Structure 1
Amino acid sequence: MTTVVAFEDAAGLAGTDLGWSEWLEVTQDRVNLFADATDDHQWIHVDPERAADGPFGGPIAHGFLSLSLTTLFWSELFDATGVTTRVNYGLDKVRFVSPVRVGAKVRMNAVIAEVTEVAGGLQFAVDQTIEIEGGTKPAVVARGLYRFYA
């Protein structure tokens, strides 16, 4: 469920837990497209037959593919009205805790850790945890930085 606030009210959101995004299945097609986009065709990602004999028992998503899903999930969880531009400003403290096997479902929890003023807008530091359905450890833990300009 998306939390929507007016831009003028967003400065006070530090500490807000936005809950969980919807589940998303990580398909082999998505992994292959990411491999094509990044020229990272390592067999552990794109060769299901060889990966079946590898350390994870099948192909896994690229860590950066799993990380890139934070942008999709963030937009599912939060929006502000009265904003003209939204910018993915960067990341802090990224960790790839567990591999995401092809066919697994993932979702993200987001907690707004800090809100700071920047010229013309606000910067949100968001603690993001991507979990794997049925997993015991998260796939990705990162702090995302997003800027919203009025």
Structure 2
Amino acid sequence: MTITQEEVNLFADATGDHQWIHVDPERAAAGPFGTTIAHGFMTLALLPRLQHQMYTVKGVKLAINYGLNKVRFPAPVPVGSRVRATSSLVGVEDLGNGTVQATVSTTVEVEGSAKPACVAESIVRYVA
């Protein structure tokens, strides 16, 4: 998927974070990244969308975001760049009553970047 300035602006509006490195292309062109960049938390917020492109959990009525363990933003996501993700299952715990808790490690990569943009462990509870 490609990160657009419109998406970044919408995220800025939703969060109130209108820092110039995110929303002012002219000023950002002279800044440290040479362009505007996505918010770190915007990159993190893309995890469900990217994960749904990779896998589906069948036989559940409800999926609940339970939280996060480890989150880091090693590299920026420039506007106009393409991102993709890889995920691996870290663990599954049976919580009883038809509920399991899955911990998934996901790495978001920017095309052409040596460092990942986001590395996170997400925890989701699935109810059958």
Choose from 113, 118, 128 the match for 1:135.
113
| 1:119 Cα offset (Å) | 3.7
Q: SS of the counterpart of 1:56?
A: coil
- Take 2:64 and 2:38, find their aligned partners in 1: how far apart are those partners? 25
Runs of 4+ in structure 1 off by over 2 angstroms are none
| 1:89 Cα offset (Å) | 1.2
The corresponding residue for 1:122 is 100
- Take 2:56 and 2:95, find their aligned partners in 1: how far apart are those partners? 18
Choose from 54, 61, 65 the match for 1:84.
61
Q: Tell me the amino acid that sits aligned with residue 127 of structure 2.
A: Y
The corresponding residue for 1:20 is none
RMSD between aligned residues: 0.8
Alignment of 1:33-112 (within 5 A): 33-112=10-89
Relative contact order, CA 8 A, sep 6+: which one is greater?
Answer: 1
- Take 2:71 and 2:81, find their aligned partners in 1: how far apart are those partners? 21
- Take 1:122 and 1:68, find their aligned partners in 2: how far apart are those partners? 22
Farther off after superposition, 34-43 or 115-124: 115-124
Q: SS of the counterpart of 1:25?
A: coil
Farther off after superposition, 58-67 or 71-80: 71-80
| 1:81 Cα offset (Å) | 2.1
| 1:71 Cα offset (Å) | 1.1
How many residues end up aligned between the 2 structures? 127
- Take 1:137 and 1:96, find their aligned partners in 2: how far apart are those partners? 9
Choose from 106, 123, 128 the match for 1:145.
123
The corresponding residue for 2:9 is 32
Query: Percent of pairs identical after alignment?
Result: 50
| 1:147 Cα offset (Å) | 1.1
